[in-house]
Each structure stands twice: as structure tokens, then as C-alpha cells.
Amino acid sequence: MRHAQGQHLPQLLLLHEHGHDAPDRIYKAITASHSAAPLLRPILHRYEPLGSTRWVDFDTTRTTYMTRADKCHVSHVVADSGWEVKMAETLEDMDEVVAYVKNHGLGFTIPYTLNGVERSYMPDFIVRIADGADEPLNLIIEVSGQAKKDKKAKVTTARTLWVPAVNNHGGFGRWDFIEITDPWDAASTARAQLAEAAGEHGPGRDTRGQPNVKTPDKEDSD
């Protein structure tokens, strides 16, 4: 490794954090550059490959937001912040949102690594959006505040590894991921990304260029 003057800095690679971070970033960059090819496949949970909002049941003392029954199968959003309450309000006001749920009590996590340690990332919202295709798009939404290294690792893993893998599987509909940094402008941000994806690939294709996969209608949001 060299800096601008060309001097070797091998000590950087000897640091535990940098030693794990470098190959992880290289791998994700290579994967992202080949996102149009069906290289990735998901490893499904052996005993529970599917999740559902049907069996969600929990008690909480945290701040909640009562949802609209025609938009969400779960009666309340458990909010980690006021931003998430605003996000829920925005989703309920969007006509193109077929259904949404706050990812609390669902058991939906995305595995990722940080500094060589395996961890689990729990995204904020799962949304089904009518985007002009034959079936709604499943959109994972992460509401982000202050930029942190672990948040970057979570977002990068979801966007460049998890979403392509699930779309390549072909059995769970179409998926995409979006990070919202301003929930007061979330509707515009989401619509702009969906419009950009539709312009690049046309309706009826997922946002990474893979063909649509037809699946039977499901009673619940998975």
C-alpha cells in the first residue's frame, strides 16, 4: 500500500480493522460492478424461509404510531425516532403504496459483516409499491440520520448483495432498497428512484435489470 509520495504503509494492513475492511470493500465493489449478471443466490433460512405480518404480536412501552388498516396489517408502528413516525405518515399518504409495515417483531434481518464480525441488520420498513409492473415492488426502506460506519456497511450489503441475490432467486417477487435521509421529502425521493429505474429498465423489470418473475398472489406481505 502506498500513499501519495509512493512510500509503503504496510502497517495499515496490520491493523485489525483495516485488515478486514479492505477485502470486504473490494468484494462489494466487484459484486456491484457485475450486478446485471445472475451471480448471487440467497441462502434461505432452513426452517422459516418465509416471513409474514400475520403472526406479529408484541408488547412495548416505546413510542408508537397507530396505522391505517387499509395500508398496514400491523396496528402500530414502534418508532425508534420521530423520523420513523414521519416516514409512516408519508407512506400512508402515498397512493402508490399498497401496503407497508415497520420491521418490528417480524424477525426480518439481513446478515452483514463489519470488521470481520458477522452481524444482523434489521431494516426499518418493508413497503409494497405499485410501480406499473404486473405485481407490486417490494421496497426496503432505511431511515438514516447521522452517518456511521456500521450504517454504511448495512446499506451497502442490502443494496449490492441481498437485493440482487433475492431478485436472482426469482421466487419472492421483485425487491429494491432505498435509504431515506429526509423523511419529510421521502415521497419525492422514492418516486425519483422508481422513475429512474423505470426509465433505465422499463416497467415490469426489477431495478437491477433482471426479468420479472411471476409469483402467486400472497395474502400477507412477506
Least confident of 127-136, 139-148, 182-191: 139-148
Provide the residue type at 27 as one letter. Y
Which pLDDT belongs to residue 139?
A: 96
Rounded to the nearest integer, the mean pLDDT of the chain is: 79
Hey, what's the cell of 146?
Answer: 447521522
| HSE-CB of 116 using CA atoms within 13 angstroms | 8
Which pLDDT belongs to residue 42?
A: 84
CATH code for residues 62-212: 3.40.1350
Tell me the mean pLDDT in the region 16-35: 58
Separation of alpha carbons 102 and 120, rounded Å? 17
3-state SS class at 66: strand
3-state SS class at 27: helix
Separation of alpha carbons 220 and 52, rounded Å? 6
Which pLDDT belongs to residue 1?
A: 41
Contacts of 45 (CB under 8 A, 6+ apart): none
Distances (CA, A) of 199 to 41, 188, 194: 26, 16, 9
- pLDDT tens figures, 81-103: 999 999 999 999 999 999 999 99
